Structure 1
């Protein structure tokens, strides 16, 4: 039986061989096919190790989020993302679609939405429900609201489900394009993501407990002990009275006691080392939280110097870029849905960018580029430094002239001047007295030289008494004056 196939490039290829060249589009590894996997229906438990060991759900992370140290670190990271400048780039989309997307995003509360999405870094995932509405002939996102994470879970197919009271244990499978779900380092094995809360949970718990013990220790040993001695004839009633008097003395520094009683005040000496142990432990816990959430603890510790704080800020900037990338992916997904619902075709791109707005570093860079010969347009200065329309004047060569000048028969021409003649008197006037002689000698050397190539030898002969360092400065000045004088002569001709 002959094989069925085709001749391709003079070579016979059977259909069986051709099929082998096609990719396998079937998923082989899944939770339903792997040996030994069992799940409770559609519920995929959160594999977070901290939650599993405690036997708790993600609500436990909400409690530590309110701790001052944790809250401060999160606010710092969230502020870095909110402060990032963003824009809609046309890319391959049409101008009309790009304009529509720009108008839609201007009406959205981007700051609020970004802050809600950012919580995915702490909890691992953050469902954000989209409220769609039809306006101006298009389907638009009217509102995007971050919802409580403990209301949702993932199923065995990594699909997000809502704990609907009428859906039972299976939960309610959510409609596509109804939720934005930013996640931090989510995988097929763990769609819940990697929460930063797991990194700081125990440090925060120990910090809270250690602070409580430290307060007790301070109350016990922070103030001196007042000890009262009573005689043998004191019954329990008199002892109680003496104790109350001592308590009043500690509170108000005033007490009335019998004349045969003795009062002794003893300082809690030798307990400072124990107090240091509590303080070091609390500082360690706080440092662990800062490192986990900010990537460093230099900018939050009192003993950090400027160099270490600067290095710490750079590490934090890298983490902020990662947070921005997470939110940018969700905004881009939203744009794709809007375009697909309404117009179709390529979508414009959402991106964050550095808005220096006249930063010192960029100003220094632009100054160096200008010295090297680069020239920037007014549009560049307005975009990069935040100038408003009308703040910048056009370059001199572009300043429009009065049309009446064009009707005049006489053309204005500036009087040509020798640059050296104009510059040397200015230098002489600005220079100190010790430099006057050098300037005059340089002027004579430059004017008497027969050519540009002879100036160097003439200057060396004239200033032979100077050392090499000063000679270099003099030579630079001489060459500059000679070059400018040569340009002035060419302009005169």
Structure 2
């Protein structure tokens, strides 16, 4: 059983789909079932040929209420940059490996305990639960995520038939006293149906959702690294191979010169060729490693910055500076645990609000949201349990 102090209060995520009151039963069809325009849209891939001025325009447009290009850019970043993809998977998968439980409210009645057990069974039976949680962690990088719930009657109970991740580009932000996420339809968009969505906002910094995502912080290191990788590829294409130099004797005819050129080309493709004995071939030394170090330094700097932004620290940026690798690894893991704990608490609150509470209400288990059981992740480390086991017997002996 997971202790109650591992749960974050629902108020931690105020931009959501489930208000204080829900319908007594879910709507019969998903909200996007008729959103044919959204279903037939394709990405614009703004990451292709991205320049500093173009990036600045994308970010400014997002601040002014048109974040579509920014959403598509975030997708491109995750697909095109292997380092970002690897570090994001490492952070996101850390949460899906945690054990979880559904715990009743404080001082629970027997009915509330029974409801918690039933809710745990239903949540555990969700198809591909680990992948559903992984989809929820998409908000860690992109600022928010919306997963649409399709409900159905299964063995006499209202249960999710499917929970589907919807692209961020399907939504828009509406500012007011609070900021709201709406389905991107005509006008100001449609409010999300109560009970029909898991909506999680995950901020890397305070502010409006357009500016608070982790990937928004990563865009500049991504751009600079992209330039350096392209420059390095061009450098290697030009200077990475040894120069093949042919020498012809004075007075050589155009035919002889052409023969020598064909021989040089054949050497480049086939590593074989013939020339008259009066001609000579030389291989000039290719550019050495020092010439490309400037590109590699920039790429390494950008990747270390990306790791710090995503994981809170980077072991590789410090281990080569005479520091103790094992000690740095311990600190590195501790920093990542802080992030994992924070991610888990936020997502536990969201699933408690958008999945557990509707399950309880639609099936008549709980009528008061404040008394609804909640989902919690087990955030204790094995070392903590070992220390607890060693300390408990002496304390029991003292009475």
1:198 paired with 2:236, answer: no
| Separation in structure 1 between the aligned mates of residue 56 and residue 118 of structure 2, nearest angstrom | 45
1:385-408 deviation digits (Å, cap 9, x = unpaired): xxxxxxxxxxxxxxxxxxxxxxxx
* Contact 1:299–1:312 (8 Å) recurs in 2: no
TM-fit CA distance, 1:107: 1.3
Contact 2:315-2:329 at 8 Å conserved across structures? yes
1:127 to partner: Cα distance? 0.9
Q: Superposition pairs for residues 169-318 of structure 1, below 5 Å?
A: 169-185=187-203, 190-192=208-210, 194-268=212-286, 271-298=288-315, 303=320, 305-318=325-338
CA distance in 1, matches of 2:387, 2:193: 52
1:62-77 correspondence to structure 2 within 5 Å: 62-66=75-79, 67-77=81-91
The alpha-carbon deviation at position 218 of structure 1 amounts to: 2.5
Q: C-alpha displacement at 1:298, in angstroms?
A: 0.5
Alignment of 1:6-45 (within 5 A): none
Could you tell me how far apart the structure 2 residues matched to 1:290 and 1:193 are? 20
CA RMSD of aligned residues (A): 2.9
Is the counterpart of residue 60 in structure 1 residue 67 in structure 2? no
Cα offset for 1:268?
A: 3.6
Shift of 1:243: 1.5
**Which residues of structure 1 form unaligned runs of 5+?**
1-47, 376-493
3-state DSSP of counterpart to 1:247:
helix
Counterpart CA distance in 1 for 2:206 and 2:281 is 72
Partner of 2:181: 160
Relative to structure 1, the CA distance from residue 337 to residue 130 in structure 2 (aligned partners, 3 Å threshold; closer, same or farther) is same
What's the offset of the Cα at 1:220?
Answer: 2.9
TM-score by length of 2: 0.72
In structure 2, the residue matched to 1:133 is 152
- Cα displacement (A) at 1:279: 1.1
Aligned length: 321
Q: TM-score scaled to structure 1, two decimals?
A: 0.59
Query: SS at the partner of 1:160?
Result: strand
- Is contact 1:186–1:192 with CA below 8 Å preserved after alignment? no
1:351 to 354, 363, 376: 376
- For 1:328-369, what per-residue CA distance to the aligned partner results, in whole angstroms no more than 9, with x for missing partners? 11111022233233231321121111365xx46644663465
Q: Which has the higher contact order (CA 8 A, sep 6+)?
A: 2
Q: Which residue of 1 aligns with 2:119?
A: 101
**Residues 279-308 of structure 1: CA deviation (Å, up to 9, x unaligned):** 111101111111111111116887371211
Deviates more, 1:278-287 or 1:241-250: 241-250
Could you tell which deviates more after superposition, 176-185 or 190-199?
Answer: 190-199
**Matching residue of 2:24:** none
Contact 2:103–2:116 (CA under 8 A) maintained in structure 1? yes
1:413 aligns with: none
Shift of 1:374: 5.5
**What's the CA shift for 1:204?**
1.9
Of 154-163 and 140-149, deviating more is 154-163
2:104 is aligned with 1:90: yes
1:205 and 1:188 mapped to 2: Cα distance? 23
Distance verdict in 2 for CA 1:69–1:268, change over 3 Å: same
Deviations 1:82-136 (A, max 9, x none): 0111111122451222122122112113212211110011111111111122344
CA 373–178 in structure 1, closer or farther in 2 if over 3 Å, else same = closer
CA separation of 1:288/1:140 partners in 2, compared to 1, >3 Å: closer, same or farther? same
Separation of aligned partners in 2, 1:262 and 1:292: 56
Q: 1:103 to 1:364 in 2, by over 3 A?
A: closer
